[in-house]
Amino acid sequence: KTGIVTLDPGYKNTGSCESAITFLDGEKGILRYRGYSIEELAEHASFLEVAFLLIFGELPNKEQLDKFHKDIKAESHVDEDMKKILDSFPKSAHPMGVLSSLTSALIAFNPMSVNVSSEKDMYHAIIRILAKFPVLVAWTLRKKKGFPLDYGDNSLGYVENIHKMMFKKPNEDYKTNKIVIEALDKLLILHADHEQNCSTSTVRIVGSSHAGLFASLSAGISALWGPLHGGANQAVLEMLEAIEADGGDTKKYMAKAKDKDDPFRLMGFGHRVYKNFDPRAKIIKKAADEVLGDLGIEDPILEIAKGLEKEALEDQYFVERKLYPNVDFYSGIIYRALGIPTDMFTVMFALGRLPGWIAQWREMRLNNEPIGRPRQIYVGAKKRAFVPVEKR
C-alpha cells in the first residue's frame, strides 16, 4: 500500500531503468543533461545543440552541428496529404489531441520509422521527426487561427524557422525578433528532458515493444497532455486568470488548495521528485521578467504569480509538504507574451521535450531493453467457484 514495490529479484523490474541521459537531484534542486548543468546550457547553448547533446551524448562541434541542421532541413517537407487529416479536425479540437494524431498519422507517410533497428535507420527516423514535428506544431496553431499553412524557410535557424512557421502573418513579410527567438530557444532547452517522468516513461515502454519511434512519441504526447503533467502549464494560466478575475484574491485559492474536500490544487506547484526549488522554475521566472521587460509588456498575471509564490513559500501547508514552483508555474507567462494561445502551451512543452523523448527511446533500443512489463501486488478476490446467473 506504500506504493514501494519490492519485486522478486529474479524478475527483471521494468518499472525503472538505467539511463545516462539526465541527472536530477530532487533534494538539492539539481538538473544536468549529459553532465552539463541546466543553468549553463540555458545560458550558453542553442536548442539544436542541446537536442544533439541529449540524443548522441556529446555537445556537437561546428561541423557536426551544421551537418545535423542540414540533414534536418533536407527532411522538412510534410506530405501534402497530411493536410487532409489536419482539415478533418474541428477548430475546437484541443491542439494536443491534434498533435498526437498527426504524429501517429506521420507513420503512414514515413513507414521507415517503424522497424528501425540499425543506428543508421534510427538516425534517419530521428532526423525526420526533428524536421517534421515542428511543422505539425505550426500547422496546428495556424489551423486554429484560420491562417494558411506555412512551409518555413530553411535559410533561418532551427528555432527561428519554427517561430516563422507559427507566426508569419498571411500577406506580410516575416520579421524576426531576437528577444522572442532567444526566449523561445531557452524555454525549449528547459523542457528538453527530465529523466523518467510520466510521458518519457510512456515513450520508453511503448518503444520497448518495438512499436516504432513515431508511435512511441504519439503515446508520449498523450501522456504529457494530462493537467497533472505537461497540461499544468495551461492550467496555471487558467488559474492565474481566475484569480485575476477574482480581484487578485490569492488567499482564497491558497485556502482551496489546502482544503482536502476541494479537488483544486495550486497548479504549477509540487513535484514527484523535486522537494526543493525546480531549477528550471528559477530560470524561467528570471526570463519572464527579462522578456516582458524587453518587450515592454506589463502583465498583471506575472505580479499575481509572484504574490502567490511568495505566499505559498511562507505557508506551513506548502512548506511542510515541500511544495515549490515547478517548471510549469511561470512558463505560460512567457508563452503568452510571445503570442502563444493558452491551449497551445502544452504543445510547446511537447516541442521542447521532443529531443528528450527521442534520446530516451534511442537509449532504450540501443540497450536492447526487454519489453516493458511492470508487475503488481494483487489485492483482489481469492479463488471462488462460478455461480450460474439464475442463482445469483
CA angle 157, 234, 201 (to 5 degrees): 75
Q: How far is the CB of 182 from ligand SDX (least distance, A)?
A: 21
**What span, in angstroms and rounded, lies between the C-alpha atoms of 42 and 185?**
8
Under the binding rule (CB under 6 A), the answer on residue 326 touching ligand SDX is yes
DSSP state string for 282-342: HHHHHHHHHHHHHHT---HHHHHHHHHHHHHHT-HHHHHTT--B-THHHHHHHHHHTT--G
Specify the residue, 113 or 200, whose C-beta has the smaller distance to ligand SDX: 200
Interaction with ligand SDX in 327-346: which residues (CB under 6 A)? 327-328
**What span, in angstroms and rounded, lies between the C-alpha atoms of 316 and 369?**
44
Q: Active site includes 66?
A: no
Contact with ligand SDX (CB under 6 A): which of 215, 266, 291, 354? Answer: 266
Q: Active site includes 271?
A: yes
Please report where in the chains the cell 524557410 appears, as a residue: 153
- Per CB under 6 A, which region of 36-44, 158-166, 323-331, 370-378 contacts ligand SDX? 323-331
Contacts of 212 (CB under 8 A, 6+ apart): 107, 113, 114, 115, 116
Q: What is the x/- site pattern for ligand SDX, positions 190-229, by CB under 6 A?
A: ----x--x------------------------------xx
* Nearest C-alpha neighbor of 302 from the set 237, 209, 390: 237
Specify the residue, 133 or 274, whose C-beta has the smaller distance to ligand SDX: 274
Contact with ligand SDX (CB under 6 A): which of 128, 271, 336, 365? Answer: 271
Positive or negative, the CA dihedral 294, 298, 299, 305 is positive
Element holding 32 (H helix, E strand): strand 30-33
Contact with ligand SDX (CB under 6 A): which of 42, 106, 257, 284? Answer: 257
Specify the residue, 161 or 326, whose C-beta has the smaller distance to ligand SDX: 326
Among 150, 193, 278, 328, the one annotated catalytic: 328
Query: Which residues in this chain contact ligand SDX in the complex, by CB under 6 A?
Result: 194, 197, 228-230, 232, 257, 265-273, 321, 323, 326-328
Q: Catalytic site residues?
A: 271, 328
